[in-house]
Structure formats: C-alpha cells, structure tokens
Amino acid sequence: MSIKYNIREAGFADVPTIKALAEAIWEPTYSSILSKDQIDYMFSVIYTEEALRQQMAEGQTFLLLYLQEEPIGFAAFSVKDPEEKVYKLNKIYLLPSCQGKGLGKILLDAVEQEVANRGARLLDLNVNRHNKAKQFYERCGYSVHQEENIAIGPYWMNDYIMRKQL
C-alpha cells in the first residue's frame, strides 16, 4: 500500500494553515528540551501570521505536505550563501501523529531536490543539541558542521549546524 501524499509550495494564503500546523506541532516537539515560557516566546516571534508573511517576503520558500487532502507538515528554506551555493533549511515539522512513518524523509527529500534545482551545492540546518531529530538528520546524510548559540529574546538556542553536500 502506498502513501498518498502531495507537496506544494505555499503562498501568503497558506499562512493560517502553517500557523495552525505549528500550533499543533511545537509544544509536543519541544516540551522535553525547552521551557514552556521559551516555547511560547519563540512561537510568538516566529509563528504569528505577520511573522510568517514577513519570512516569505524576505525569501523563505515554504512547502506544505499533505496526506490525502489534510495538511500534516511544512518546511521552509532560503539562500544562506549565494556565492558558495549554500541554502538553509529553516524549518521542517510534521504533526506528532505522522512522525516516524517516513513522511519527514519525503519532505526533506523534496526540499533537497528543490534547492538542488535552484543551484544549491550544500544544505545547512540548525538542530538543538538536545533534539533527538539530530539522529534523523544523520541517517539522512547530514553531519555536524559547527555549533552555534543563538539569542532569541531572553533565551538561548544551543544548536548544531548540520550540513549535507547535495
């Protein structure tokens, strides 16, 4: 039995769908590694409809993943270093009920194909140093390139920058 999925580029009209997905995904994804206050703060900075529209306007391309006709996840990417042909995977999220079924790999593959089509040589992503998703990225061919500590308001994100050659 094959999984019936569809991936398409999102536009401004899809911002409410992306926000609703993020609302369903963020707390279950991060509650084991970030405080509720930090999750709430970061969500208020990154996932308001205005913030999402601004991210799109500033060059992030969003992809929406549908299973049957239901939106179940999204990813976003942008150019990081045009001269070196490095793109950045800014976001990739699936509903918790859809994780562990190969759908994240499908969405990640779609991002990799899309950035490669745009001329990318490398794809970078940030992952919290305590996030179990690091093992997923390693299985998908990413390796730790460097460490980065990012201030977001009064909070810190302690990340690995992982990289894959395309």
Overall number of domains in the chain: 1
At 153, the pLDDT band (50, 70, 90 cuts) reads confident
Distance CA 147, CA 42 (A): 20
Tell me, what CATH number does 93's domain have? 3.40.630.30
User: Does 125 score more than 60 pLDDT?
Assistant: yes
153 within some domain: no
99 within some domain: yes
Closest residue by Cα to residue 44 from 124, 153, 130, 143: 153
137 within some domain: no
143 within some domain: no
26 within some domain: yes
User: Does 2 score more than 80 pLDDT?
Assistant: no
Closest residue by Cα to residue 12 from 45, 47, 56, 46: 56
Closest residue by Cα to residue 103 from 144, 128, 136, 62: 136
Which pTM does this prediction carry?
Answer: 0.94
Q: In the 8-state DSSP scheme, what is residue 96?
A: G
* Pairing between β-strand 143-152 and β-strand 70-81 as defined by DSSP bridges: unpaired
Segments forming the whole domain that contains residue 100: 5-122
Distance CA 56, CA 50 (A): 10
User: Does 1 score more than 70 pLDDT?
Assistant: no
State the pLDDT at residue 84.
Answer: 97
Distance CA 118, CA 67 (A): 26
Contact (Cβ atoms closer than 8 angstroms) between residue 92 and residue 75: yes
State the pLDDT at residue 166.
Answer: 97
15 within some domain: yes
37 within some domain: yes
131 within some domain: no
